[in-house]
Amino acid sequence: MATLEVNKNSMDFDSRNYLNLKSMLPQLQKEFPLDLYNLAFLKVNGRIVDINSEDPSLIRPIADNDHIQINFDQKKTFMSDIIYETHELANKIIDQIINVSIHLSDDIKDNKNLQKVTCIIQAVDTFVQSISFITKNIKNTETDFHSLPFKQLHIHLLSVMKAINTAQNTQDYIMLADLLEYELKDNLTQWKILIMPTLRKQSQVRL
C-alpha cells in the first residue's frame, strides 16, 4: 500500500480513493488551506515533482509501492510579524538595560548621571508592556508557560522596580546602585535565559 507523509508525519491513506496524485491534493488542502499555507514541496519516491508541471507522476494511478512526501509551510500574518518584532525589541531592551545598569552603578554612588535611572525605569516599563502584548497574542500561552517561572519573575521584577523608586526618592544612592547592578541585572538575565527563547519560538507560530 502507498505511504503518505505530510510535514514528516505519516497519515492514513488509501490510494484506492483517488484517481491519481493530482486528485488527492485538494483533499489535503482542506486541512492546509491555501490562504494559510504554501505547498513547500512534493516528492514521489524521493524525487521532487512540480505540482504545476505536466509530470506524468501527477496523473498516473498511485502505485502500492509509492512513497509520497508533502510539506506545507505556514504563511506569516501581519500579527505574526508584529509579535516577532516586539519580541526582538524586548530582547534588545534587556541587553541595553543590563549594560547601562552595570556601567551606571559607580556613577550613581557618586551622585552622577541620576537622570539615566529614569530612562531605565521607562525602559523596564516598555519591556513589561512588550511581554504582556506578546503573551496575550501568541498561541498556546498557558500551556507553554505552565512550567516556566513567568509569574515569579514578573512579580520579582515589579518588586525590584518598587525598591528602585524608593531608593531614588530617598536618595539612597548606594542601595540604588546595588539594585541596578545586581537585582535588576539578575532578574532580566533570568528572563533572557528562561523565558525569551520560548517567547521567540511561539512568536514564530502562525496566528
Query: Where in the chain are all domains bearing CATH 3.10.20?
Result: 3-74
Residues found in the chain: 207
| pLDDT tens-place values along the chain, 207 residues long | 789 999 888 888 888 888 898 888 888 878 888 777 788 899 999 999 998 888 998 999 999 899 999 998 876 677 778 888 999 999 999 999 999 988 888 888 778 888 889 999 999 999 999 999 988 887 554 445 667 898 899 999 999 999 999 999 999 999 999 999 999 999 999 999 999 998 887 766 544
Residues 6+ positions from 153 with CB-CB distance below 8 Å = 187, 190, 191, 194, 195
Residues of the chain with CATH 1.20.120: 78-203
pLDDT at 113: 81
Q: Rounded distance, CA 97 to CA 88, Å?
A: 14
Give me the pLDDT at residue 84, please. Answer: 86
b/e burial code for range 70-96 (CB count within 10 A of at least 16 → b): bbbeeeeeeebeebbebbeebbebbee
pLDDT at residue 143 in the model: 47
Question: So what's the pLDDT on residue 34?
Answer: 73
How far apart CA 76 and CA 164 sit, in angstroms, is 40
* Cell numbers for 111: 551622585
- pLDDT value of position 207: 47
What was the pLDDT predicted at 141?
Answer: 47
| pLDDT at residue 40, as a whole number | 86
Q: Any idea what DSSP says for residue 41?
A: E
Q: CATH assignment of 78-203, given 1.10.3210, 1.20.120, 1.10.15, 1.10.1060?
A: 1.20.120
- Looking at domain 3-74, its CATH architecture is Roll (3.10)
The predicted pLDDT at position 198 comes to 85
Sequential DSSP letters for 61-110: PPPTT-EEEEEEEEPP-HHHHHHHHHHHHHHHHHHHHHHHHHHHHHHHHT
Distance (Å, whole) CA 76 – CA 81: 7
